[in-house]
Amino acid sequence: MRERVAVGYARSSGSVNPASSIPNQILSMEEYCEKQNIYLKEIYVDERKTGTKVDGRNEYKLLMKQLQYQSDIELVLVAFFDRLGRESYELIQAVEEIRVLKKELVCIKEDLSSKSLTPLQLSMMAIQAENENMQRTRRLADSKNSKIQKGKYLLGGVPYGYILDDNKMLVKDPVKSLIVAQIFYLYRQGETISNIALKINSEYGSTIVKQSKIPNILNNKTYTGYIYIRTDSEESGFRKLSEIAHESIISDDIFNECYALHLERKPKRLPNQFYLLNNSVFLCPVCQSSVGVKGGNYICKSKCWKSNISTVNNLVLEFLLEQEKETKEESKLRTAYESLQNKRDQLHLSFARGEISYNQLNNKLHILQHTINMSKLKDIHNRERYKGLIESGSIEQLKHLLINDQIKLTLDEKMNIVQIK
């Protein structure tokens, strides 16, 4: 009997999966092929890659490309169904792409084959995989927070002046903890950050602490004996995460005094998040090249135009809010947009019930998206989101939304903001 030819795919998510995940997946594929008399041609491995999106999974993309050109491949093996992905739509899409290429997907641990899966079963499994991923992520976050509450430091880079013991608890570094205490002492005496770095490094005869690290040290309340993070949601500017103390380097009083001094001495700068928004979105009114920031002004990279930052910022906000005034025609369009969104949901439901095929689903979704893109429906939906973000003061989110929507703005001759189509 001729051996069937297979390729395998393995994936781990790093923090979600243990280090043994990839070797165990590969072992299950090798054992399966040995029992079933299958020739395992190659295994594609994406390590420490999320399954919620295809972007970044280079080996998965290579696998799908090879399936198109290597006619001898008959089977695609995965140890578990969710190794293909965790977002339901992309999972369904992956299985259907394999089917279209006339290959068979085998999920070893579930003992499932794409040949026997109905559309309803496929949809249910994809939704289950997505839900399990969300639950797993939540459990991991809860477990991590519980350990941090008990004093284990799991926030990434260990603060300068500390080391971790075998239980992940912060303990003082015998030399660097003294340097941290010295930094706070000198800062209370009125020394500048540059002078503190110069004094300490001269004393030790080498660069034992970089000047760039000192502001982070002065802003880190974890030195007081409990784990803290910075947050805007607390009046103090910090949230306490741990209930069990570790070794402190300074007292609460010293930290609070130095932190208040640091805020007072910190140079007053224009808020950068909004001029970054305009860096990405706002173009020069003269030559339509990108703009930069210099001396409180937006300035064209070609140096043919400049204007005050606050003036342009206010004009942009007023423009975005003005776009919210809805005409009767736009009101009808908005209703049409909501209707199309409902239609999209109904198409997914029809596919899950087996009433339409994957190709029919894909074609109808493309037509829907084309309808939205070719009309003003998407613009109306986006404008509502802009207004909500402006009113809530979420300028950083507004920035990302305008960039994602590829919005380009400039000024006309009358100093009115206009959108470049």
The answer on 133 and 19 residing in a single domain is: yes
Mean pLDDT, to the nearest integer, of 354-361? 78
Number of domains in the chain: 3
Question: Which pLDDT value is given to residue 86?
Answer: 61
**At residue 290, what is the residue type?**
S
Both tokens of residue 307? 């204007």
The answer on 85 and 11 residing in a single domain is: yes
* Local confidence band at 268 (pLDDT 50, 70, 90 cut-offs): very low
Domain boundary among 96, 114, 144: 144
Other beta carbons within 10 Å of 148: 19
For residue 106, being part of any structural domain is answered with yes
For residue 156, being part of any structural domain is answered with no
- 3-state secondary structure at position 100: helix
For residue 386, being part of any structural domain is answered with yes
d(CA 25, CA 8): 9
pLDDT > 60? residue 355: yes
* Residue 238 bridge partners (DSSP): 230
- Residues 6 or more apart from 245 whose CB is under 8 A from it? 151, 225, 226
CATH number, residue 83: 3.40.50.1390
The more confidently predicted of residues 414 and 406 is 406
Q: Over the chain, what is the mean pLDDT?
A: 80
For residue 152, being part of any structural domain is answered with no
* Local confidence band at 327 (pLDDT 50, 70, 90 cut-offs): very low
User: 295: domain range?
Assistant: 272-419
227-253 pLDDT, tens digit per residue, is 998 876 677 788 899 999 999 999 999
29-43, 141-155, 166-180, 354-368: segment of lowest average pLDDT: 354-368
Measured between alpha carbons, how far is residue 325 from residues 65, 244, 417 in Å?
48, 54, 16
The answer on 286 and 224 residing in a single domain is: no
The answer on 351 and 260 residing in a single domain is: no
The answer on 173 and 96 residing in a single domain is: no
- Residues 6 or more apart from 37 whose CB is under 8 A from it? 1, 3, 4
* Local confidence band at 68 (pLDDT 50, 70, 90 cut-offs): confident
Contact 223, 257 (CB under 8 A): no
372-397 pLDDT, tens digit per residue, is 655 554 554 555 567 777 766 677 77
pLDDT > 50? residue 115: yes
pLDDT > 70? residue 346: yes
For residue 150, being part of any structural domain is answered with no
* Local confidence band at 270 (pLDDT 50, 70, 90 cut-offs): very low
Residue among 363, 329, 328 nearest 96 (CA)? 363
**Which residue is associated with the tokens 């795919």?**
9
pLDDT > 80? residue 272: no
**Which residue is associated with the tokens 């784990």?**
227
CATH number, residue 186: 3.90.1750.20
For residue 371, being part of any structural domain is answered with yes
Mean pLDDT, to the nearest integer, of 201-225? 89
7-16, 60-69, 208-217: segment of lowest average pLDDT: 7-16
The answer on 333 and 391 residing in a single domain is: yes
129-164 pLDDT, tens digit per residue, is 777 777 877 887 888 889 999 999 988 789 999 999
- Residues 6 or more apart from 234 whose CB is under 8 A from it? none
Contact 332, 380 (CB under 8 A): no
* Residue 294 bridge partners (DSSP): 297
- Residues 6 or more apart from 266 whose CB is under 8 A from it? none
Question: Which pLDDT value is given to residue 312?
Answer: 81
Question: Which pLDDT value is given to residue 213?
Answer: 87
* Local confidence band at 326 (pLDDT 50, 70, 90 cut-offs): very low
The answer on 171 and 60 residing in a single domain is: no
The DSSP code for 387 is: H
Question: Which pLDDT value is given to residue 344?
Answer: 74
* Local confidence band at 16 (pLDDT 50, 70, 90 cut-offs): low
The more confidently predicted of residues 123 and 108 is 108
d(CA 17, CA 19): 7
Determine whether 85 is exposed, middle or buried from the number of CB atoms within 10 Å of its CB (0-12, 13-18, 19+): buried
The answer on 336 and 234 residing in a single domain is: no
Chain-centre distance for alpha carbon 416 = 35
Contact 200, 218 (CB under 8 A): no
The answer on 401 and 317 residing in a single domain is: yes
**At residue 156, what is the residue type?**
G
The answer on 299 and 258 residing in a single domain is: no
Question: Which pLDDT value is given to residue 383?
Answer: 54
Domain boundary among 144, 172, 200: 144
Question: Which pLDDT value is given to residue 269?
Answer: 46
- Residues 6 or more apart from 367 whose CB is under 8 A from it? none
The answer on 281 and 258 residing in a single domain is: no
For residue 183, being part of any structural domain is answered with yes
The answer on 32 and 90 residing in a single domain is: yes
pLDDT > 60? residue 14: no
Mean pLDDT, to the nearest integer, of 19-46? 89
Domain boundary among 144, 177, 201: 144
The DSSP code for 410 is: E
For residue 178, being part of any structural domain is answered with yes
Instruction: Indicate whether this model's pTM tops 0.85.
Output: no
DSSP string, 71-89: TT--EEEESSGGGS-SSHH
